[in-house]
A = this chain, B = another copy of it.
């Protein structure tokens, strides 16, 4: 079995060196990584073909096969992703605050790298490059553990990045891949507290839940998104229709897509038939409670299970409520604390919704699809945190840092 302690130690040593690098050195390395990916396209595509053919043989579904596939264009996209990370501001060394204490000590709180980040993820090989780039930008070493379906692709990608680091004279253990994809190494990685400062799982809800259950390393939970759009009594129904269709249909498989529509009863009679037709025209299956079925009989009855389910598919469920209070109560009960939106022209309704909804991102009159590092202006993202500790919402390079208090004295002792 792979010696994870040894990898952990190497990662810590590399992290110490990375912590001392300036922005210019880190950016040069990132550009070299990008160029190396493009130069190695042939080798990467060949390695990926092995994974792809094997997955196809094993009867993997088309959507999954597509996620696994690497083409020269996609490799070029990954390289451009790294070049975008170069353009981001360096989060390290930023002083968040500073003050002088009554005892005359000068304290500053500065941004420093987290240290060693563990990434554990399923099939998509692009996570290997995206995560390595963003972790590196923030001065962290990364230990990667991707899915077994993508192992040859991941080896080719991580070796490319490591050679690029070596080329510019940086410790290549800043990026390490666990190439033994047994369950034992995954479990051991999740318990590697001595070396890994934080573990970030990427993948399906089921996968993330498994990691949360088994890990002893501190985790940042990402990605579960049972997002709601509440159409208030005072909504502009044209905006509501456009936003719901966008939030459901533009990319249904992602975590910021809308899964539920909550309608105020006063606008339901007028709005639901129109909404239903528009959703049907976009091949979306519409489920609903008994009130909505009374308005549109073709609606599929929703069960209790529906309210808590993230479909990630062309399905949406509709519920009709008596008041904004009921809407807020329902959403806070069933949501995954990801993204929620109210459609209203009423100031007080907007204010109440924004204050009372418990989620990473709360919107008035906009699509939930904007919950995204790029859309927020953070550049690349490593995931969307749905927990409350450390980082909430889209996580960019800044969220991959911690702080250190630097205290300057001249002989102070405590009285």
Shortest Cβ distance from A106 into chain B, in angstroms?
A: 10
Stretch at the interface among A72-80, A81-89, A385-393: A385-393
Contact of A363 among B213, B216, B366, B409 (CB under 8 A): B409
Task: Tell me if B414 and A102 are in contact (CB < 8 A).
Answer: no
Q: Mask for A324-335, Cβ within 8 A of B = 1, else 0?
A: 000000001000
Task: Tell me if A354 and B406 are in contact (CB < 8 A).
Answer: yes
Contacts A101-B375, A213-B216, A218-B389 given; 13 further ones with Cβ under 8 A?
A: A16-B356, A16-B358, A103-B370, A197-B387, A242-B413, A243-B412, A246-B413, A247-B413, A350-B408, A365-B410, A365-B411, A389-B402, A392-B402
Task: Tell me if A407 and B246 are in contact (CB < 8 A).
Answer: no
Those of A224-258 within 8 Å (CB) of chain B: 236, 239, 242-243, 246-247, 250
Query: Which chain B positions have C-beta within 8 A of A220?
Result: 389
Name, among A247, A369, A407, A412, the residue most crowded by chain B CB atoms within 10 Å (CB to CB): A407
Q: What are 19 residue pairs bridging A and B, where the CB atoms are less than 8 Å apart in the complex?
A: A16-B332, A101-B377, A105-B370, A193-B212, A197-B389, A218-B218, A218-B219, A218-B387, A218-B389, A242-B413, A246-B414, A250-B413, A354-B406, A361-B405, A363-B408, A363-B409, A369-B414, A370-B414, A389-B390
Task: Tell me if B409 and A366 are in contact (CB < 8 A).
Answer: yes
Those of A47-61 within 8 Å (CB) of chain B: none
A402 to B388, CA, bound (A): 6
Query: Which chain B positions have C-beta within 8 A of A193?
Result: 212
Task: Tell me if A404 and B392 are in contact (CB < 8 A).
Answer: yes
* Count class of interface residues, chain A: 35 or more
Name, among A102, A355, A405, the residue most crowded by chain B CB atoms within 10 Å (CB to CB): A405
**Given A377-B101, A402-B388, A404-B392, are A367 and B332 neighbors across the interface (CB < 8 Å)?**
no
**Given A115-B358, A356-B16, A405-B360, are A367 and B216 neighbors across the interface (CB < 8 Å)?**
no
A192 to B365, CA, bound (A): 35
Query: Which chain B positions have C-beta within 8 A of A242?
Result: 411, 413
Contact of A361 among B103, B332, B355, B407 (CB under 8 A): B407
Shortest Cβ distance from A266 into chain B, in angstroms?
A: 21
**Given A115-B358, A218-B219, are A198 and B388 neighbors across the interface (CB < 8 Å)?**
yes
A102 to B370, CA, bound (A): 11
Contact of A362 among B101, B354, B361, B404 (CB under 8 A): B404
Shortest Cβ distance from A361 into chain B, in angstroms?
A: 4
**Given A410-B365, A413-B242, are A390 and B390 neighbors across the interface (CB < 8 Å)?**
yes
Query: Which chain B positions have C-beta within 8 A of A105?
Result: 366, 370
Query: Which chain B positions have C-beta within 8 A of A101?
Result: 370, 375-377
Q: Mask for A289-321, Cβ within 8 A of B = 1, else 0?
A: 000000000000000000000000000000000
Task: Tell me if A370 and B412 are in contact (CB < 8 A).
Answer: yes
**Complex A-B, nearest 9 residue pairs according to Cβ-Cβ distance, in ascending order:** A366-B409, A246-B413, A369-B414, A388-B402, A390-B390, A239-B411, A366-B412, A361-B405, A389-B390
Contact of A114 among B102, B103, B239, B388 (CB under 8 A): B388
**Given A216-B213, A355-B20, A390-B389, are A411 and B377 neighbors across the interface (CB < 8 Å)?**
no
Those of A340-368 within 8 Å (CB) of chain B: 350, 354-356, 358-367
Task: Tell me if B404 and A360 are in contact (CB < 8 A).
Answer: yes
Shortest Cβ distance from A4 into chain B, in angstroms?
A: 18
Query: Which chain B positions have C-beta within 8 A of A278?
Result: none
**Given A20-B355, A375-B103, are A370 and B218 neighbors across the interface (CB < 8 Å)?**
no
A197 to B392, CA, bound (A): 13
Shortest Cβ distance from A89 into chain B, in angstroms?
A: 13
